[in-house]
Chains A and B, each alone.
Chain A
């Protein structure tokens, strides 16, 4: 009973607080990136937030260009960018490059990782890679309705503790969990929730040493770079676009940009 009252008082459950802006996105306060595996209902989440009707296809590569839309909630205006669905950020298909470059260079204030609750392990592979490059993320545990149908139980609280970011169970087709997601985005964007993203440590001592050496150099040259270890790793792997970013100094602009938004 008291629970219900709590819900009524919570701003999250007042639908009139959400104003979908469609493509009218002048003067935005926060940029939100939507990332995730293909077929996780990413575009449905996007449509729910922005009120747009982006076509939700059912095969990889459907969101070919970046789709953008906006919404406004609690005085703040948000721009949402729907990235193409990918399985990883490591190899180099166009989709993966678009997604990775946006999270890295587009400096979103929050990255929402949409994950398929029925295939959590595989979806976590991408989530962990995203957490390597960004500090501010929310995991939207989508397709909970299908998970329930398959008798899967997921401990969202524990998952949140493991990943160090908010985890919101949702069923976007039924609009379940969308208000909570909007609230979590706001908390992360405003800094009310400070993420402590899990960074995977490699097992190889030699590699860890190489990474920390390189990261130390990078820190000296590009002060404020938020994802040193990841950049170091990409350099070690010979990632051309990162090498170019170092050579041209674009990486430096990235770090100062991040500083100015977080200041």
Chain B
């Protein structure tokens, strides 16, 4: 019986095969045509245009400006710059408040509490100075900018502007063999690479989705903007005449971001010509009408879906990393801590790339979040130079209120203009944070592609830093 039905099924399939050959090639089109004809007939019968279509005309006029050949890109950069300006300047105050609460107030209380219940110094060091403090840093520096950026981004999405961005960028990405919607995941990456990687779900083809995921790290994320701005202000702005300092350092940061976009196109192109070979798939992108955004709902969903989600992942990684950071600064072999051993050992190699051992170590142990790289660098610099009277103790991350104070520490750690430039390059081109790496693994389900996305940017960063350094030494001397 089973056998018989099986045969019947195969009969149907072979009949279908035979009939298919009888039809000739065009019948698929005739089917679609008859559906379209029917749809047109029904629409003609039931829809009536009375008067003029007002809103539609307005939409068209706005589109003509936003997607125009000359104005499209400048408007896009202006919008993005505006979103970042609001994010960076708006986050300062709440970040300060959170830092004041979690780090300046709560941290000493916890520390004293630990001492008063007789906790051994190393345990309170690991738990309070290590785990708690790194979590507090991550919350204080990550939460406010994300809570501002994501709702703004979602508002642009709701308004209907983002599809226009994709429309503008489509050509560039298609030439790179990637999907036009990669423009969206890239812009999302400017807020947070982990969110950008998740957003790559909007891309259908696995090949193009992988390209979008691998290259998302080239979008300078929220965690790296403050580093860029700080280092540019100290070293690049500092090297320019005072009246130009602001413009020059801002220009340098924008330059790094644009370099990131450029590299993301180059790498997409390279991938689509090599391991991820294939044609860019065509897709129809509808430009939806502009609609008033639903503000409350936008706030709710962007906070829950994106901000809290990403923050939670970051905290999960920050706790163990904080413990490691404290341990490497406090566990001693002989006269020196593990951190110092490592820094001295790596220093000669790092110099080759125009960086230093502190930077290398900071990028390794501050992997949970780019936000804690600078505090870690400061802590390690003070530790390795044996500076007295700065910071809050061995293995305790800190940041200074004054830029001049930060500059002093870095300069006494041997930093030069070249170190600053290289740090900015390396901050753009290094492995994604652990939150993003984990997200990439979750999304691709592949160890191989997770490794590629992690290692490719480091290799590129080292190469670019190396050539910058060698060139610099030849030209500047």
Chain A interface (Cβ within 8 Å of chain B)? 38-39, 53-62, 64, 87, 90, 93-95, 118, 120-122, 124-125, 127-129, 146, 149-156, 158-159, 162-163, 173, 198, 200-204, 206-207, 210, 213-214, 217-218, 220-221, 232-233, 235-238, 243, 246-247, 249
Contact = CB atoms under 8 A, between A and B. Distances in A.
Given A58-B288, A206-B22, A214 B16 contact: yes
A125 B16 contact: no
Nearest to A243: B13
Given A155-B47, A236-B16, A249-B5, 10 more contacts: A38-B286, A60-B202, A61-B181, A90-B32, A124-B42, A124-B43, A146-B289, A200-B35, A203-B30, A221-B8
Contacts, number: 180
A203 B35 CA distance: 10
A93 B43 CA distance: 27
Given A158-B45, A159-B46, A249 B288 contact: no
Give the dominant DSSP class at A's interface. Answer: helix
A202 B31 contact: yes
A207 B27 contact: yes
B85 interface: no
Contacts of B302: 55
Contact of A55 (B11, B288, B305): B305
Nearest to B198: A64
A207 B8 contact: no
Contact of A62 (B19, B47, B51, B202): B202
B47 A154 contact: yes
B19 A213 contact: yes
Interface in B293-309: 294, 297, 300-302, 305
Given A163-B42, A210-B23, A247-B9, A173 B305 contact: no
Interface stretch (B156-164, B267-275, B382-390): B156-164
B10 interface: yes
Contacts of A201: 34
A153 B50 contact: yes
A193 B32 CA distance: 29
B8 A125 contact: no
A145 to B, nearest CB: 10
Give the residue among A60, A93, A206 with the most B Cβ atoms within 10 A.
A60
Contacts of B163: 58-59
B289 A118 contact: yes
Contacts of B51: 151
Contacts of B294: 56, 173
A147 to B, nearest CB: 9
